[in-house]
Amino acid sequence: MRTFEWIRPQRASDRGAYTRSANEATPHHRVFDFLPERVAGCLLTQILDRQGDFRPLTGNRNFLRLPRPLALLPALSEQLLAILPAVQLRFGIDTTNREIELYLHAYNDGTRFGRHSDAQGGGNWRRRISCVYYLHRVPRAFEGGDLVVYDARGRAHAIRPEHNSVVFFRSHLIHEVRPVTCRSRTFADSRFSINVWIM
């Protein structure tokens, strides 16, 4: 199995990666070019090496998932900590005393995740901010897979998955992942995401 050659990333502000939503009324905060491309590529390579570890989920969430939470990855952690002050300001949520949970998901042909809230069920009520970091081959070999976040008025805000981008939103908001079409049905052509919950 390959291991990461972790490269200390530049701060996102130095690379011009910080981007606010064009409309501050939107319920999400998005950042492009979240990690240096070499780091993002290395991360994608390690995900592909772990294909055999993924397990299918059922019901309204029929994608693949690694069965156990991920350890907090160093490069991802650095960038999360760098942007959290802006996210905290954007959403008015204090993230000073935080816990972070990560899961790795893979969406291939026909997979989706129906409408749900990340703050419902069991101990999930502790989740305050949800974060989705996207990885996929370029050019993309799938279609669909938009994340749709519904604001407090029930209006839908569709977010296209873009390689090496990240989206933040409040965990209590209803959201879904629309169906993915992947004609090759090859694992490597999937829509990958690292889902992060800040509690």
- We report the CATH number of the domain holding residue 104 as 2.60.120.620
pLDDT at 15: 40
pLDDT at 8: 36
Q: How far apart are CA 7 and CA 99, in angstroms?
A: 24
Residue 26 belongs to a domain: yes
Residue 30 belongs to a domain: yes
Residue 167 belongs to a domain: yes
pLDDT in tens, 89-135: 999 999 889 999 999 999 999 999 999 999 998 889 999 999 999 99
pLDDT in tens, 104-115: 999 999 999 999
Query: Across all residues in the chain, what is the average pLDDT?
Result: 89
pLDDT at 73: 87
Q: How far apart are CA 26 and CA 133, in angstroms?
A: 18
pLDDT in tens, 19-29: 444 345 799 99
Residue 114 belongs to a domain: yes
Residue 13 belongs to a domain: no
Residue 160 belongs to a domain: yes
Residue 2 belongs to a domain: no
Residue 7 belongs to a domain: no
Q: Residue 157's domain spans which residues? A: 20-198
Q: Is the pLDDT of residue 2 over 80?
A: no
Total domain count, the chain: 1
